[in-house]
């Protein structure tokens, strides 16, 4: 890692490590106790570790002289490792909390691992830890190839990745200690949020600086999506997390938003986290890795323009469909519903474009589990966007909202679409970086594929049943006009579905663990000297 | 159009600006009016803010992630009104930073929970849910018997006051004292709590032990306050039924 940096970059890295250690020390000293002090300690430890790592290698020979003529993939390799570590943590906690819904007695009698504290560890772990690292890591790869330019500098990708992972670690450890803003998918407290803004600005600057060095006149579609992801996530994150800390030396803050405004801001954020974190970024991934792996160009350039701007424009409106029949003004609910239905057009245009790209390569889909991951991702993307538009229709939502149907819907998108495209990208990149023709254990990729597909289907189908059962039981009246079921009747009816969804989740987790082990084996295996058809880097001026 | 885009995608800053504009329209149209239209939230005259003890309980509710399984938003649907009570009004959460409407009902909605069960029921249920409701899948919270930390309450009320919640100087200054007094009906401060927060405020030893102020006191006080901060919802729905 450090050997790839030039001497001035190493000096900068050392200075930044010292700054991080000092920041951690200041946080710990100011807070003295509680989550902020622990987080200060974590930053201090990380800073000290980096000081030793960088300092120890400060004069270890200069960076390779020919580095300007090669892509810079070390950060992406690191990002892939972090992606898989977070996958195991996030999905592991997910399976555990799913099991707690079936065996609530298994909850230990200490506070840190209670369901309510672990649930955001699962969501943050998989969305930001697993998904976020995968997005950042692949974006560096895609950006360089489609621009035929090396990353603008060698230091800032590390700042972005290490800083982002520190945010994730702060967030999940905070929840265990009981520190949370309670805003769904934005639970991290104010100082972690501020930290993420800094990291994100560096990420955005690196992206633009590298684009400025590109040797292709056009910016490729995948980069439009990655750009939309970076920009709009920044906008959402900042507005939703505006908060007033009780004290600068403490963890607790209050969001500036209240009541109905807070609800609207929260779901404007919440649904667009789905849109721009879990969709736009991953469409960027799809638009690069699917053509590369299948060896086919994107089916329609025009369709990708229409679907890109359609997604950027329509998605922002739809958050209010989370608030049907609530105290939110009716017209806002109606707008949310209308745009949700219209959103199906660009969504299916993207999914269709991806699937049509595979025309002429179906034999590869049959034979290559990696490409099959990407194909299944596109199919689940189409299915879950259809389901999403359907659930946003007001009368349908009256049945589905607050039930496990929503949870099933989310997982059809996250397991079936987001995780599948990530695994497809990882299985494409890891052998390439290791100079090998394929993963160390090719059969394990096949196993992973079927574990992932069966796990997703079991999970989603059981929660469809669970959600519809709940919804129908809650609204059932008997002949005398009284409600047929008490709430606890509906809880009792959930048991078999909760057991099945735990099983589905466990299968999916098993596949992810297999992927992590396979990646480890591949990265450690001796290179075979295979150079896969990488876009050649354009001749670079000397630095 | 295609020609325009052909040129746009050669400019990284052009794409950046276009994305920002296109992605801002929806949010601006939906969110901005909620702040400008007065009718969005009419604050009822009888609405009171949470007492310091209830606020401390609310923070425990956040800390333990209760909102992940319990909504506090009765929708405008017949079966919900029959099951839970009057549908929720925007005004009821007008001073809630953050709102806790929730998104999932693994357990029931609790917007109308206040007064539905006794304090003793809540205490027993939080210590061991299955002792009270055998089929419950709620986790047990035995650690809530810990002593409540009240030293930050004044600062928290002051912060909320800066955000527009009507906590005046007297309420901020007496926050810690009021929290203690609300759980000690016989103490001298009890009248102060009623004076500052209204006669309707429950002043009781919520966990059954007036000698100790515990997290259980705070959480039960909060749960018993749900749906009782204003009578507006009951009145509105009552009027609609009467018509």
What's the pLDDT score for residue A528?
A: 82
Interface of B with A in 69-128 (CB under 8 A): 69, 71, 73, 75-77, 79-80, 82-83, 87-109
Alpha-carbon gap: A455 to the closest alpha carbon of chain B (Å)? 22
Same domain? B34 vs B59: no
- Where in A149-251 does DSSP place strands (E)? 243-245
pLDDT band at A215 (very low <50, low <70, confident <90, very high): very high
Interface membership of A51 toward B (CB under 8 Å): no
Q: Which residues of B touch A309 (CB under 8 A)?
A: 22
Residue B214 lies in a domain: yes
* Mean pLDDT, chain A, whole residue set: 94
What's the pLDDT score for residue B31?
A: 80
Q: What is the mean pLDDT of residues A369-395?
A: 96
Closest chain A CA to residue B66: A116
Contact (CB<8Å) B24/A317? no
Q: Which residues of A touch B36 (CB under 8 A)?
A: none
Which residue is listed with tokens 């909605």?
B109
pLDDT band at A500 (very low <50, low <70, confident <90, very high): very high
Residue B45 lies in a domain: no
Same domain? B75 vs B145: yes
pLDDT band at A536 (very low <50, low <70, confident <90, very high): low
What's the pLDDT score for residue B3?
A: 85
What's the pLDDT score for residue A345?
A: 95
Interface membership of A305 toward B (CB under 8 Å): yes
What's the pLDDT score for residue B26?
A: 87
Condensed to tens digits (0 to 9), the pLDDT of residues A132-171 reads: 999 999 999 999 999 999 999 999 999 999 999 999 999 9
Question: Is the pLDDT score of B50 beyond 80?
Answer: yes
d(CA A502, CA A122) in angstroms, rounded, equals 14
pLDDT band at B54 (very low <50, low <70, confident <90, very high): very high
Same domain? B25 vs B59: no
Interface membership of B146 toward A (CB under 8 Å): no
**Cα dihedral across residues A330, A333, A335, A337: positive or negative:** negative
Condensed to tens digits (0 to 9), the pLDDT of residues B170-179 reads: 999 999 999 9
Alpha-carbon gap: A528 to the closest alpha carbon of chain B (Å)? 38
Listed residue (B152, B178, B158) closest to B52, CA to CA? B178
Condensed to tens digits (0 to 9), the pLDDT of residues B129-181 reads: 999 999 999 999 999 999 999 999 999 999 999 999 999 999 999 999 999 99
Contact (CB<8Å) B69/A309? no
Same domain? B6 vs B92: no
Q: What is the CATH number of the domain that holds B154?
A: 1.10.760.10
**Cα dihedral across residues B93, B97, B103, B104: positive or negative:** negative
Contact (CB<8Å) B107/A491? yes
pLDDT band at B37 (very low <50, low <70, confident <90, very high): low
Same domain? B67 vs B159: yes
Same domain? B83 vs B128: yes
What's the pLDDT score for residue A191?
A: 97
Percent helix, percent strand, percent coil in chain A, to nearest 5 = 75, 0, 25
Condensed to tens digits (0 to 9), the pLDDT of residues A148-157 reads: 999 999 999 9
Same domain? B31 vs B82: no
Q: What is the mean pLDDT of residues A409-431?
A: 97
Q: What is the 3-state secondary structure (H, E, C) of B189-208?
A: CHHHHHHHHCCCCCCCCCCC
d(CA A279, CA A418) in angstroms, rounded, equals 8
Residue B216 lies in a domain: yes
CB A356 within 8 Å of CB A425:
no
Residue B67 lies in a domain: yes
Query: Across-strand partners of A245?
Result: A253
What's the pLDDT score for residue B62?
A: 97
Domain count, chain B: 2
CB A304 within 8 Å of CB B6:
no
Closest chain A CA to residue B156: A246
How many inter-chain contacts (A to B, CB under 8 Å) are there? Answer: 253
Question: Is the pLDDT score of B202 beyond 60?
Answer: yes
Interface of A with B in 463-522 (CB under 8 A): 470, 474-475, 477, 483, 487-488, 491-492, 494
Interface test with B, best of A258, A343, A497 (most B CBs within 10 A): A258
- Helix A281-294 / helix A420-433 crossing angle, nearest 10 deg: 50
Interface of A with B in 381-410 (CB under 8 A): 398, 401-404, 406-407
Alpha-carbon gap: B67 to the closest alpha carbon of chain A (Å)? 8
Alpha-carbon gap: B176 to the closest alpha carbon of chain A (Å)? 15
Condensed to tens digits (0 to 9), the pLDDT of residues A57-111 reads: 888 888 888 888 889 999 999 999 999 999 999 999 999 999 999 999 998 889 9
Contact (CB<8Å) A114/B141? yes
Contact (CB<8Å) A326/B101? yes
Closest chain A CA to residue B2: A302
Q: Which residues of A touch B37 (CB under 8 A)?
A: 329
Alpha-carbon gap: A287 to the closest alpha carbon of chain B (Å)? 16
Same domain? B115 vs B17: no
Same domain? B36 vs B85: no
What's the pLDDT score for residue A541?
A: 46
Q: Which residues of B touch A336 (CB under 8 A)?
A: 30
Question: Is the pLDDT score of A36 beyond 80?
Answer: yes
Listed residue (B148, B104, B114, B108) closest to B129, CA to CA? B108
Q: What is the mean pLDDT of residues A43-51?
A: 97
Interface membership of B32 toward A (CB under 8 Å): no
Interface membership of A275 toward B (CB under 8 Å): no
Alpha-carbon gap: A523 to the closest alpha carbon of chain B (Å)? 35
Interface membership of A122 toward B (CB under 8 Å): no
* Mean pLDDT, chain B, whole residue set: 92
Least CB–CB distance from B142: residue in A102, A109, A179: A109
Interface membership of A219 toward B (CB under 8 Å): yes
Closest chain A CA to residue B137: A104
Contact (CB<8Å) B136/A110? no
What's the pLDDT score for residue A542?
A: 42
Same domain? B60 vs B20: no
d(CA A77, CA A134) in angstroms, rounded, equals 10
Contact (CB<8Å) A182/B163? no
What's the pLDDT score for residue A60?
A: 84
d(CA A62, CA B167) in angstroms, rounded, equals 62
Residue B177 lies in a domain: yes
Interface test with B, best of A93, A107, A116, A483 (most B CBs within 10 A): A116
Q: What are phi and psi of A244, to 5 degrees?
A: -110, 115
> Which of A119-128, A530-539, B66-75, B135-144 comes out lowest in average pLDDT?
A530-539
CB A44 within 8 Å of CB A24:
yes
Same domain? B122 vs B216: yes
Domain that holds residue B78: 52-240
Which ipTM did the prediction report?
0.94
Interface test with B, best of A277, A327, A336 (most B CBs within 10 A): A327
Least CB–CB distance from A219: residue in B9, B75, B90: B9
Contact (CB<8Å) B63/A180? yes
Query: What CA–CA distances, in Å, run from B31 to A437, B23, B103?
Result: 52, 13, 19
Residue B47 lies in a domain: no
Number of neighbouring beta carbons within 10 Å of residue A366? 11
Question: Is the pLDDT score of B241 beyond 80?
Answer: no
Contact (CB<8Å) B68/A398? no
Interface membership of A335 toward B (CB under 8 Å): yes
Residue B26 lies in a domain: yes
Residue B9 lies in a domain: yes
What's the pLDDT score for residue A538?
A: 61
What three-state secondary structure class fits A477? strand
Task: Give me the half-sphere count of Cα atoms (radius 13 Å) on the Cβ side of residue A77.
Answer: 15
Same domain? B24 vs B119: no
Question: Is the pLDDT score of A543 beyond 70?
Answer: no
d(CA A13, CA A4) in angstroms, rounded, equals 12
Interface membership of A32 toward B (CB under 8 Å): no
């Amino acid at each position: 890692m450090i050997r790839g940096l030039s001497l001035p970059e190493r000096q900068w890295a050392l200075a930044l490590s010292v700054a991080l250690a000092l920041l951690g020390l200041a946080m710990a000293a100011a807070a003295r106790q509680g989550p902020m002090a622990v987080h200060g300690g974590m930053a201090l430890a990380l800073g000290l570790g980096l000081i030793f790592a960088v300092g120890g290698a400060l004069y270890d020979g200069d960076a390779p002289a020919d580095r300007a003529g090669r892509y810079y993939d070390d950060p992406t390799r690191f990002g892939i490792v972090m992606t898989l570590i977070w996958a195991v943590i996030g999905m592991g906690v997910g399976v555990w909390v799913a099991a707690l819904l079936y065996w609530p007695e298994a909850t230990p009698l200490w506070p840190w691992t209670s369901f309510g504290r672990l649930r955001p560890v699962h969501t943050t772990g998989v969305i930001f830890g697993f998904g976020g690292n995968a997005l950042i890591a692949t974006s560096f790869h895609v950006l360089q190839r489609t621009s035929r330019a090396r990353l603008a500098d060698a230091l800032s990708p590390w700042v972005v990745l290490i800083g982002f992972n520190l945010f994730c670690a702060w967030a999940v450890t905070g929840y265990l200690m009981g520190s949370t803003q309670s805003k769904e998918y934005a639970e991290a407290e104010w100082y972690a949020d501020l930290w993420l803004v800094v990291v994100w600005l560096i990420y955005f600057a690196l992206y633009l600086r590298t684009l400025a060095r590109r040797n292709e006149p056009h910016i490729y579609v995948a980069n439009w999506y990655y750009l939309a992801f970076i920009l709009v996530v920044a906008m959402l994150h900042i507005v939703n997390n505006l908060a007033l800390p009780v004290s600068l030396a403490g963890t607790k803050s209050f969001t500036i938003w209240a009541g109905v405004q807070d609800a609207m801001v929260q779901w404007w954020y919440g649904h667009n986290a789905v849109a721009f974190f879990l969709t736009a970024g991953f469409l960027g991934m799809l638009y690069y890795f699917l053509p590369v792996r299948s060896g086919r160009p994107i089916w329609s350039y025009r369709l990708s323009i229409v679907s890109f701007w359609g997604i950027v424009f329509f998605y922002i409106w739809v958050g209010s469909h989370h608030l049907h029949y609530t105290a939110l003004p009716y017209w806002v609910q109606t707008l949310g519903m209308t745009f949700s239905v219209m959103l199906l057009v660009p969504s299916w245009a993207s999914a269709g474009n991806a699937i049509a790209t595979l025309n002429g390569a179906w034999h590869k889909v049959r034979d290559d589990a990696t490409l099959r991951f990407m194909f299944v991702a596109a199919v689940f993307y189409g299915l879950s966007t259809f389901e999403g538009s359907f659930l946003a229709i007001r009368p349908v939502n009256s049945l589905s909202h607050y039930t496990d149907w929503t949870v099933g819907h989310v997982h059809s998108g996250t397991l079936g679409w987001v995780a599948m495209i990530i695994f497809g990208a990882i299985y494409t990149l890891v052998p390439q970086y290791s100079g090998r023709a394929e993963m160390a254990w090719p059969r394990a990729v096949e196993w992973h594929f079927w574990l992932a597909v069966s796990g997703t289907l079991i999970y989603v189908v059981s929660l469809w049943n669970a959600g519809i059962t709940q919804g129908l039981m809650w609204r059932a009246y008997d002949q005398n006009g009284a409600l047929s079921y008490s709430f606890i009747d509906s809880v009792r009816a959930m048991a078999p579905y909760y057991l099945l969804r735990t099983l589905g989740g466990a299968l999916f987790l098993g596949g992810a663990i297999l992927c992590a082990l396979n990646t480890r084996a591949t990265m450690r295996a001796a290179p075979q000297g295979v150079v896969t058809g990488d876009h050649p880097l354009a001749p670079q001026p000397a630095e | 159009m295609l020609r325009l885009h052909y040129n746009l995608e050669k400019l990284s800053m052009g794409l950046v600006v276009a994305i920002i504009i296109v992605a801002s329209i929806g949010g601006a149209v939906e969110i901005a009016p909620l702040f400008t239209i007065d009718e969005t939230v009419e604050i009822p005259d009888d609405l009171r803010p949470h007492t310091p003890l209830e606020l401390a309980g609310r923070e425990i509710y956040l800390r333990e992630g209760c909102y992940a399984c319990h909504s506090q938003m009765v929708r405008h649907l017949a079966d919900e009104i029959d099951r839970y009570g009057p549908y929720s009004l925007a005004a009821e959460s007008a001073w809630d930073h953050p709102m806790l409407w929730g998104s999932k009902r693994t357990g029931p909605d609790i917007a109308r929970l206040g007064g539905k069960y006794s304090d003793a029921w809540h205490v027993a249920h939080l210590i061991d849910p299955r002792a009270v409701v055998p089929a419950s899948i709620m986790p047990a919270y035995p650690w809530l018997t810990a002593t409540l930390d009240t030293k930050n309450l004044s600062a928290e009320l002051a912060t909320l006051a800066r955000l527009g919640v009507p906590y005046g100087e007297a309420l901020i200054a007496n926050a810690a004292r009021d929290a203690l007094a609300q759980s000690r009906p016989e103490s001298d401060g009890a009248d102060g709590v009623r004076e500052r927060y209204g006669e309707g405020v429950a002043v009781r030893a919520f966990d059954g032990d007036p000698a100790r102020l515990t997290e259980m006191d705070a959480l039960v006080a909060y749960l018993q306050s749900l749906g009782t901060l204003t009578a507006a919802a009951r009145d509105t729905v009552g009027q609609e039924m009467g018509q």
